[in-house]
Homo-oligomer: A and B are copies of this chain.
């Protein structure tokens, strides 16, 4: 599917064929594209929790106000990120660069993030957003539907997936074969309302 068509036609789909099994080749293909999502300083700090265990899915559904897509979608991803990736072996992400470039980047990474917890969190959430749209558009292009989700008890979900210290949950994403079309759009803001020329 053409990129512009994927962008225009993608909608959040909340009802899925629970009997459909996504072929592993499609899951791998989706992940291969997801890993192309850009991250600042190439830190690739996202961690994608792919929930397959039906009992865990059921518990997550309770933590997400009983939304059916949690158990019924083919793929459930909890999109997390390591807010400490800037100090947890960032050299791994620059190992193929020339040594002087790598040294410069590692120095810049340290100076940019050290002592700035809000920036570390922003970075995690921002990268998850970029990755989520990458996955949603890839899914559309591959003939799947998706639903981005933030409506859940994040503390409970963190317990259930055993989120390690220093990590945050950015959002969840379900992908599968939708069974009902989205409702018509509830109200679009005009371009003039969101495009600002030069300054506010």
Contacts and interface: CB of A to CB of B under 8 A. Distances in A.
Contacts of A196: 47-50, 161
A102 B133 CA distance: 26
A103 to B, nearest CB: 12
Contact of A56 (B32, B42, B94, B198): B198
Q: How large is the interface on A (under 10, 10 to 19, 20 to 34, 35 or more residues)?
A: 35 or more
A42 to B, nearest CB: 6
A44 B2 contact: no
Contacts of A94: 186-187
Taking the full assembly, how many copies of this chain does it contain? 2
Interface in A129-179: 129-134, 136-138, 140-142, 148, 150-151, 160-164, 167, 170-171
Interface stretch (A6-14, A17-25, A66-74): A6-14
Interface of A: 1-4, 6-8, 10, 12, 28, 31-33, 35-38, 40, 42, 44, 46-53, 56, 92-97, 101-102, 105, 112, 121-123, 125-134, 136-138, 140-142, 148, 150-151, 160-164, 167, 170-171, 183-189, 191, 194-200
